[in-house]
Amino acid sequence: MAAYIQCFWGLFLSLSLYFIHSTPTPHVYIVYLGLNHNQDPTLTSKYHHKLLSNVFASEEDAKQSMLYSYKHSFSGFSAKLNSTQATALAKMEGVISVFRSKTLQLHTTRSWDFVGFTLGNNKVTPLQLAFGDDIVVGMFDTGIWPESESFSEEPRMKPIPSTWRGECVKGDRFDPKTNCNRKLIGARYYLKGFEEENGPLRNPEYQSSRDFLGHGTHTASTAVGSIVKNASFFGLGLGTARGGAPRARLAVYKICWANEEFNSVCSEIDILAAFDDALHDGVHIISASFGPRPPMLPLFETSAGIGSFHAMQLGITVAFSAGNEGPDPSLVTNVAPWSISVAASSVDRMFRTQILVDSSLSIMGESFLPTEIKGKLADPSMYFEHGVCNSDNYMNESKPAVGKVVVCFSTDGPTLIDHAVAAVKTANALGLIFVEPMTRQTADVEIVPTVYVNFEQGTQIKNYLYESPSLPRVRIMPTKTIIGKSPAPTVADFSSRGPSSLTPDILKPDVTAPGVSILAAWPHDTSPTLSPSDDRRVRWNFQSGTSMSCPHVSGVAALIKSAHPRWSPSAIRSALITTAYTRDTTSDSILAGGSMKVADPFDIGAGHINPLKALDPGLVYEMKTSDYILFLCNIGYTQENIHKMVLPCPGVDISCPKVPKSNTNINYPSITVSNLKSTMTIKRTVRNVGHKKNTIYFASIVKPDGVEVFIWPRALIFSWFNEENSYYVTLKPLKKSQGRYDFGEIVWSDGCHKVRSPLVVCVNTTDDSSDSIARTSSSI
């Protein structure tokens, strides 16, 4: 009997374990249904609950599972589902895509002077102050520090636009009555996705739109911050701070939160909820400095792809950061052809810091040190095993490095700057001299005083240290701000590069903008390094990343939209792309950080933004509904799906072309051919938006190496009765090549405007014989 009972319980335990392991684990999924055809948000939500009920035992279970119902600007919902339920939903009629919600990451004064927006001398009204009152910029980020002077009302600010439907939501240390005004007109926060993945929110984060991490405050002030004089970081970078569009209105959508390690966490279901609200609220521009890490997923299996697509259809321009995965190729993110992807580059400002060793050796590095440091120079081998600056290598039995400035090389280990800073702090060192290649140097605010030097300088310091009979004395002088002495822009080494791994026939990034050592507003209760042991508090802070370059473009886009309210997102993007420049302040080619080479379109897109010229580009390339339909066809969507996704447009055929056309034929301002095997012809259409309606534009060409380029016609004639013209570009390969990209450009000019399009071509002909190339050539 005992044996029988033992056998029974053994079998019961085995079956229990089987069912436990065989039950699919629930995860958070997004179910995307396309346009909101019902219009009524209440009816849309009821439909979502009904659809979800099909995979649950009861409607009550379905309601408990649902996290968000996206019911305003597009249709969809997020819910906790197991894989079986997700698969069943994906097969249901009306469902376009079902995908797991992922966690995304953030891509983290002088810059506006550098791009040409000076405040002037009161003789004329600067362009930054002439436009923007009627534009609302939505910031998708970590929230806002509303007390910052950057978000105070500009003088004589008009009432909030009557079209605004948003609101300021009350929360932890955020009172709409005192924190919102004619400048900050909207503030929402989204927490469900974060808490599903990370558990309840913890201190010191705020359960409201108030910003703890600082990233959102920084980006918002960069895009639309009010004019604030005497802004600086302990005296460094002193000047007048303002955003690109100081008079524009600000709406904040907090979608990223601090986890236990003070890292930012952005849940896709929260992001999509923010898009749903922002599009309904009435924003004109969305600035989104976040993105996924490669590999890239299909565009309509991402919150950014879905949200920005529906924003574009409503006339809302969306600017994204290109990512911080550089300098390796093909890691650029946010590559949808209906949004703007922004790379990062430097400005002509340096923070020079002198290092004096025994008063015999003088080295000039980069840092943010407001005060002088005196100590002894030390080799890391005194405190770390094998001389590798890493906390795990710290030799506890050694004496602390009190009063020592440790020299760490990035190649030892290798060692990342974060590891080196943590290591010397663990050793109680006085400071750090960090040695890395000159092409990768980006000074940052650190918890330990840190000076960045290149390898030539670092080698001199190291050799001096080895030859000294005792530890040499070292003085590090206070940092000095130097303006106009360095060639700029230079592409930041961290800035993600093309070509796009998802859409290789669409050039990404689109443009580059200032994103290195950008000074902007900061939460007053947050340390500049986010370290709990950092007791410094600042109102302004330095940050670097494509997160910083993105709001520069958002601010400029707001000015363009204000100056040209009828322009579409594609027209605004075109103006930014075709007026961008590729020469630095010395009139030489822009260099690509992370290498010693000249930057190409995969580094900078069309080039560096030129806001003044973008306001008057001459011609624009408009993307119409037919272009987006072609793109959707090419990425595999059926006519039925396209009908659910695309707003109806009279006279537009939503069916896919019977003769396939590549994405090269989309009316994008840049021209990219990722696989040129034989002669091909591409069509582009431009619209005259200049003040002169009767004008003629003439074409000039810089041919990519090994490619013959023909343009017809070579002149475009515009008039009051003919504001649009088309031209054709024929490309013919002249060389044997495989997988090599070459670059050129097409420029249309009327004598006043230069409308420049990058021409990117990859010739793939090595599989063809020379005879077949000759036959192709002779048939033209």
Residue numbers annotated as active site: 141, 215, 547
Q: Which two tokens stand for residue 184?
A: 């900050």
C-alpha 570/C-alpha 561 separation (Å) is 11
C-alpha 224/C-alpha 520 separation (Å) is 11
Q: What is the DSSP string of 97-121?
A: EEEE--EEEE---HHHHHTT-----
Nearest alpha carbon to residue 540 among 93, 310, 275, 241: 241
Provide the edge-to-edge strand list for the sheet that holds 97-100: 66-70, 75-81, 27-34, 97-100
CB neighbours of residue 705 within 10 Å: 14
Q: Which residues pair with 594 in a beta bridge?
A: none
C-alpha 246/C-alpha 222 separation (Å) is 9
C-alpha 257/C-alpha 105 separation (Å) is 10
SS3 705: coil
C-alpha 671/C-alpha 761 separation (Å) is 8
CB neighbours of residue 26 within 10 Å: 15
3-state secondary structure 139-183: EEECCECCCCHHHCCCCCCCCCCCCCCCCECCECCECHHHHCCCC
Q: What are phi and psi of 522, to 5 degrees?
A: -145, 145
Cα end-to-end span (Å), the chain: 93
Q: Which two tokens stand for residue 485?
A: 């002495």
Nearest alpha carbon to residue 169 among 248, 228, 253, 261: 253
**C-alpha distances in angstroms, 179 versus 145, 210, 298?**
9, 10, 39
| Pairing state between β 740-749 and 715-718 | unpaired
Question: Buried (b) or exposed (e) across 494-505, using 16+ Cβ within 10 A?
Answer: bbbbbbbbbbbb
C-alpha 559/C-alpha 245 separation (Å) is 6
Question: Buried (b) or exposed (e) across 57-88, using 16+ Cβ within 10 A?
Answer: eeeeebeebbbbbbbbbbbbbbbebeeebbee
C-alpha 480/C-alpha 373 separation (Å) is 14
